[in-house]
Amino acid sequence: MSVDGYLMQEPGFATKAIHVGQEPERWSSSNVVTPIVLSTTFKQQSPSQHKGFEYGRSGNPSREVLEQCLSSLDNGKYGLCFSSGLAAATTVISLLSAGDHIVVMDDLYGGTYELLTEVIERRDITFTFVDARYPERVASAIQRNTRMVWIETPTNPLMGIVDIKQVSEIVHAYEEIILVVDNTFLSSYFQRPLMLGADIVFYSLTKYLNGHTDVLMGALVMNSNELHERLKFLQNSLGAVPSPFECFMVNRGLKTLALRMEQHMKNGLAIGRYLEKHPLVDKVLHPGLPSHPQHQLAKSQSYGHSGMLSFYIKGGLEESQKFLSSLKVFTLGASLGGFQSLAMLSSQMSHAPMPIEDRIRLGITDNLIRLSVGLEEAQDLIADLDQAFKATVS
Ligand SMILES: *Cc1c(COP(=O)(O)O)cnc(C)c1O
């Protein structure tokens, strides 16, 4: 289905989400639902002769099923799962050595920002933050020792869009640089960065892919055999692997991903349009609305948009606080991508670790409210926003 001029969705996505890796024939009992295999060790026929599993950290059947299904959704060859999104990030960055350099998107998920500035910097790896909405700035930030470019699109919380194909062309003029794209905000249903030239797609599965706000997990998807071998080695040697139970949960969440994403998009657009008309709103940031400065670019590289949007409420911290604490259907809280609607104040929550002058320069001010629009009835969500606006000015 093609929505509002976005790329035409490829056929077969929902079928892959339901069937890839889930063949009943792979289990001797022919069960149609993947079992939760808790065993941490596996019987060997003779020393190092086994059926592909030796020890729970290096490989687990419940995890393998999820990794196969996830990779198929990105049209990728390999998937690897980790105990959280940041565990996946730590593992990817461990491809690098002291002396290496990373070019990073400046409008970045708060946790990734903290990982880089508080932990990775101490390993003598340096980085340059750039506004990758302007691909030429990525080009000019590349140094002799650059080994990785890390972008996020759409960005959090400002919904900036990076031209993945253009950045990938810049990066791949250098053989030794890897392009990583954090695709958490759209999921593989709405964007497939490997097809646009990325080397590795990064996910916090905690968000849309699981979609039920009850699992922390991360994943990497890639095509290169060599990258897969190196990352699979690191997955085992760093050891940040997810539990079999959680793999089962995310695999189950994927079964409704296509349906959920369509509804997140519909609800998000309805709310974006409502907010645009509201007298107490200064500006709405939603890549699926024609008012977004990169609306055309978003439509040219994605299949749609999720339930993520931000808006500037008229006023400052006081108005934001009043508005947010008046919400009744939206929950004030961190995270995103679940079935329930969430609202947050990035400046005081996810982006609190960022120096205030950087926050203000980027536009992450105290009147910027971010919404993760869930799967409730759109009318009920709009009514909730409406009563919270009224409470703000009363
Ligand atoms: C949540 C999130 C992460 C980190 O993932 P965790 O599962 O919380 O470790 C990274 N990037 C983005 C865009 C996220 O939303």
Residue ranges per structural domain of the chain? 13-254, 257-393
**Strands (DSSP E) found in the chain:** 78-82, 101-105, 126-130, 146-152, 178-182, 200-204, 218-222, 281-285, 308-313, 331-332, 342-345, 368-372
User: How do residues 24-54 score in pLDDT, each as one tens digit?
Assistant: 999 999 999 999 999 999 999 999 999 999 9
Tell me the two tokens of residue 291. 């008012």
Question: Residue 204, SS3?
Answer: strand
**What is 13-254's CATH number?**
3.40.640.10
pLDDT of amino acid 71: 98
> Which of 91, 184, 209, 216 should be mutated for ligand 1, with most atoms under 8 A from CB?
184
Nearest CA to ligand 1 atom 1: 204
Residue 189: pLDDT over 80: yes
Nearest CA to ligand 1 atom 5: 85
Give me ligand 1 centre to Cα 43, in Å: 36
Percentage of the chain beyond pLDDT 70 is: 99
Active-site annotation holder among 109, 189, 303, 312: 109
List CB contacts of 317: < 8 A, sequence separation 6 or more: 348, 366, 367
Report residue 110's pLDDT band, with 50, 70 and 90 as the boundaries.
confident
pLDDT of amino acid 198: 98
Residue 352: pLDDT over 90: no
Nearest CA to ligand 1 atom 6: 85
**What is 257-393's CATH number?**
3.90.1150.10
Active-site annotation holder among 107, 182, 366, 384: 182
Nearest CA to ligand 1 atom 9: 85
Give me ligand 1 centre to Cα 220, in Å: 12
User: What mean pLDDT is predicted for residues 341-356?
Assistant: 91
User: How do residues 122-135 score in pLDDT, each as one tens digit?
Assistant: 999 999 999 999 99
Residue 2: pLDDT over 70: no
> Which of 112, 187, 351 should be mutated for ligand 1, with most atoms under 8 A from CB?
112
Q: Amino acid identity, residue 73? A: L
Residue 291 CA to its chain's centroid (Å): 24
Closest-lying ligand 1 atom to the alpha carbon of residue 87: 9
State the DSSP string of 77-107. SEEEEESSHHHHHHHHHTTS-TT-EEEEESS
b/e map 88-100, b = 16+ CB within 10 Å: bbbbbbbbbeeeb
Pocket of ligand 1 (CB under 6 A): 84-86, 109, 111-112, 152, 156, 182, 184-185, 204, 206-207, 216, 218
User: What mean pLDDT is predicted for residues 179-185?
Assistant: 98
Give me ligand 1 centre to Cα 124, in Å: 24
Stretch among 119-123, 187-191, 253-257 having the lowest mean pLDDT: 119-123
Same fold, 13-254 and 257-393: no
Active site residue 182: yes
User: How do residues 260-314 score in pLDDT, each as one tens digit?
Assistant: 999 999 999 999 999 999 999 999 999 999 999 999 999 999 999 999 999 999 9
pLDDT of amino acid 307: 98
**Cα separation values, 235 from 21, 48, 216, 229, 354, Å:** 20, 20, 16, 10, 29
Closest-lying ligand 1 atom to the alpha carbon of residue 184: 13
Nearest CA to ligand 1 atom 7: 85
Residue 1: pLDDT over 50: no
- pLDDT, averaged across the chain: 96
**Cα separation values, 219 from 75, 93, 183, 250, 273, Å:** 15, 14, 10, 11, 33
CA separation for the pair 183, 96 (Å, rounded) = 21
Closest-lying ligand 1 atom to the alpha carbon of residue 111: 4
Closest-lying ligand 1 atom to the alpha carbon of residue 337: 15
Give me ligand 1 centre to Cα 202, in Å: 9
Active site residue 207: yes
Report residue 3's pLDDT band, with 50, 70 and 90 as the boundaries.
low
Largest CA distance in the chain: 76
Give me ligand 1 centre to Cα 83, in Å: 12
Closest-lying ligand 1 atom to the alpha carbon of residue 218: 7
CA separation for the pair 127, 104 (Å, rounded) = 7
Active-site annotation holder among 207, 260, 359, 370: 207
Active site residue 303: no
Active site residue 147: no
Name the pTM for this structure: 0.97
* CB of 295 closer than 8 Å to CB of 287: yes
Closest-lying ligand 1 atom to the alpha carbon of residue 112: 10
Tell me the two tokens of residue 80. 């690897």
User: How do residues 203-254 score in pLDDT, each as one tens digit?
Assistant: 999 999 999 999 999 999 999 999 999 999 999 999 999 999 999 999 999 9
